Amino acid sequence: MATIAPIHGTPELSERRVNYLNVEHGWKSWLFTTDHKRIAILYLISITLMFFVGGLMAVLFRINLLEPEGIFAPETYNRLFSAHGIIMVFFFLVPSIPATLANFLIPIMVGAKDLAFPRVNLLSWYIYVVGALLTLYAVIRGGVDTGWTFYAPYSSTYSNSYVLAAAFGVFTAGFSSILTGLNFIVTVHKMRAPGMTWSRLPLFVWSNYATGLIQVLGTPVLAITLLLLAFERIAHVGIFDPNIGGDPILFQHLFWFYSHPAVYIMILPGMGVISEIVSCFSHKRVFGYNFVAFSSMAIAVLSFVVWGHHMFITGESMYTSLAFSFLSFMVAVPSAIKVFNWTATMYKGSISFDTPMLYAFGFIGLFTIGGLTGLYLAALGTDVATHGTYFIVAHFHYVMVGGMVMAFVGGLHFWWPKMTGRMYPEAWAKFAALIIFLGFNLTFFPQFILGYLGMPRRYHAYPPEFQALNVLSSAGASILGVGYVIPMIYFLWSLKYGKRAGMNPYDARGLEWTIPSPPTTFNFDTTPVVTQEAYDYGELEEVVG
């Protein structure tokens, strides 16, 4: 167990105990805070709002797809799916776990009082808000219809929508992501408590460290790409438009150089959450700690050399495609290692089925399917048959929603008592987890079939023989929507009426469970001294093989 030096007094659950939430009051104490925990809460509120805005768009366009000829005008549909993609990717998925859970937990997990640069952390939230407002402005003024990928020359020359505002919003939000990543990297390197060696870091920290590297290295390229796009749109200079000398393929290379690694920004932190949850509810150390930690780093590195698999059918040379296909298979290996290790962690464990564990089960299952269907797209032959269809839509929703959102909601349940000092209602939470799992599969599984049948993505109308599967998918989406609203309600309810949580309600290990719930502003009264490995649930008894 990660032990800490004795804390002054016992952390009683007394009503008046000072913690980071009640130490100061008033809006100023929130808007000018440099406490990483308060900033995490600010982020949590903002990304939740964005999640529901993006989700609403999804509900609307799933309604449109109930009828083969569509219900809304094509303009409306195109703006809905574009807004959904832009908001969900850049304003929910990318900041989801890093800016909320990791922001809250990383300093505590490494035994620090705060992130290395608390003011930069606050700045990153303000930048995020500005970016989000710009994008929402674009959506409200009339929307943007380029899809989240902003492919040139459509976005730079042909689209008559608010591309500039949206692109600028994404550009801005990118800096928020860079600053978060930078803060994590420095914190993990320089702020670890005495005795907190690299091999004792919780896997959640490892995965967010890897994420930070991607954020720092990838995001600036997206920023510059969007600036070039904006420049072309304003000044009509042929950077991407071939009619005036540019090259649209360059846009795709630059865009995916960021956006493929960004996929791992969106999933790595989720993998970290699952490592924590599986270990805690199996009451057992993570099987193969070194391999799980190493696989996070391997994913981060490999993620930068696979972007070309988005262009197999865009006319890149055959040898380029071969190389990218091969590398794309390579990145699947460390992902597989993680899945096997989580499963092996349960072996001879003492497993309890609390809500976070249910989400972890959901994650492992859905991520497995999402990951394996990725192989269809990495293989050059089947990519040709599935590219640009609903198969891809289903694949990345299995990874992003089935994976990342599951991990996010699971992690939120896991650390909710730590963040708020209150327990959520267990029965409702289990019910919601089940609803989300069922609704998710009903929504997205039919899309695999639709995709191989050939239904293209981003179609507001489709041939009638695809209707049955689309209706199934829309039905699933409505169930999924309900599934997401339930936790929203009981989380808010629990803030006032939830059972008070102790310091360590799940008997988990890790520094965050050695301090009161909710923590005080500086987390630790005295700097902890770590003497044990992570996940020290008992003496090592057996070594397999």
Looking at the Cβ atoms of 194 and 492, the one nearer to other proteins is 194
| Among 6, 16, 26, 540, contact with other proteins (rule: CB under 8 A) | 540
| Among 56, 430, 438, 457, contact with other proteins (rule: CB under 8 A) | 457
Dihedral sign from CA coordinates of 513, 26, 117, 260: positive
312 sits near other proteins (criterion: CB under 8 A): yes
Size of the site for other proteins (CB under 8 A): 150
Q: Where are the alpha helices (DSSP H) in 150-247?
A: 163-190, 203-235
- Site residues (CB under 8 A) for other proteins, limited to 18-47: none
Residue 344 CB, nearest approach to other proteins (Å): 7
DSSP-derived 3-state class of residue 389: strand
502 sits near other proteins (criterion: CB under 8 A): no
Residue 414 CB, nearest approach to other proteins (Å): 17
For other proteins, which stretch binds (CB under 8 A), given 11-19, 202-210, 418-426, 461-469? Answer: 461-469
- Site residues (CB under 8 A) for other proteins, limited to 122-151: 145-147, 151
């929507």: which residue's tokens? 481
**Contacts with other proteins, 276-295, as mask; x by CB under 8 A:** ------xxxx-xxxxx----
Residue 153 CB, nearest approach to other proteins (Å): 6
Looking at the Cβ atoms of 376 and 408, the one nearer to other proteins is 376
Distances (CA, A) of 460 to 67, 69, 498, 516: 9, 7, 44, 52
Dihedral sign from CA coordinates of 83, 86, 88, 92: negative
Find, among 316, 326, 306, the residue nearest to 263 by Cα: 306
Residue 23 CB, nearest approach to other proteins (Å): 14
10 sits near other proteins (criterion: CB under 8 A): no
| Among 19, 48, 368, 504, contact with other proteins (rule: CB under 8 A) | 368
- Site residues (CB under 8 A) for other proteins, limited to 373-432: 373, 375-376, 378-385, 387-389
Q: How far apart are CA 360 and CA 176, in angstroms?
A: 28
| Among 96, 103, 135, 159, contact with other proteins (rule: CB under 8 A) | 159
463 sits near other proteins (criterion: CB under 8 A): yes
Residue 310 CB, nearest approach to other proteins (Å): 11
Q: How far apart are CA 167 and CA 361, in angstroms?
A: 37
- Site residues (CB under 8 A) for other proteins, limited to 68-107: 70, 74-75, 78, 107
305 sits near other proteins (criterion: CB under 8 A): no
Looking at the Cβ atoms of 13 and 384, the one nearer to other proteins is 384
> Residue 501 is encoded by which pair of tokens?
């949580």
Q: How far apart are CA 91 and CA 50, in angstroms?
A: 7
The H or E element spanning position 24 is none
Q: Are 55 and 484 in contact (CB under 8 A)?
A: yes
> Residue 49 is encoded by which pair of tokens?
């709002």
Residue 120 CB, nearest approach to other proteins (Å): 8
Q: How far apart are CA 165 and CA 19, in angstroms?
A: 40
C-alpha of 487 from chain center: 18
DSSP-derived 3-state class of residue 20: coil
Q: How far apart are CA 468 and CA 454, in angstroms?
A: 15
Distances (CA, A) of 180 to 96, 116, 126: 12, 11, 12
Residue 492 CB, nearest approach to other proteins (Å): 30
Looking at the Cβ atoms of 119 and 499, the one nearer to other proteins is 119
459 sits near other proteins (criterion: CB under 8 A): yes
Half-sphere exposure of 229 (CA within 13 A, CB side): 32
| Among 23, 45, 133, 234, contact with other proteins (rule: CB under 8 A) | 234
| Among 207, 225, 420, 473, contact with other proteins (rule: CB under 8 A) | 225
| Among 247, 445, 479, 531, contact with other proteins (rule: CB under 8 A) | 247
Radius of gyration of the chain (CA): 23
Distances (CA, A) of 98 to 67, 135, 182, 257, 523: 39, 21, 12, 21, 19
Residue 8 CB, nearest approach to other proteins (Å): 12
**Contacts with other proteins, 186-205, as mask; x by CB under 8 A:** xx-xxx--------------
514 sits near other proteins (criterion: CB under 8 A): no
Q: How far apart are CA 255 and CA 259, in angstroms?
A: 6
462 sits near other proteins (criterion: CB under 8 A): yes
Q: How far apart are CA 240 and CA 348, in angstroms?
A: 57
| Among 7, 123, 164, 250, contact with other proteins (rule: CB under 8 A) | 250
For other proteins, which stretch binds (CB under 8 A), given 23-31, 249-257, 405-413, 424-432? Answer: 249-257
Residue 52 CB, nearest approach to other proteins (Å): 25
| Among 17, 30, 113, 431, contact with other proteins (rule: CB under 8 A) | 113
> Residue 55 is encoded by which pair of tokens?
């989700």
For other proteins, which stretch binds (CB under 8 A), given 406-414, 424-432, 498-506, 534-542? Answer: 534-542
Residue 516 CB, nearest approach to other proteins (Å): 18
Burial of 144 (0-12, 13-18, 19+ CB in 10 A): buried
Half-sphere exposure of 445 (CA within 13 A, CB side): 13
> Residue 300 is encoded by which pair of tokens?
């981060």
321 sits near other proteins (criterion: CB under 8 A): yes
C-alpha of 463 from chain center: 34
Residue 489 CB, nearest approach to other proteins (Å): 26
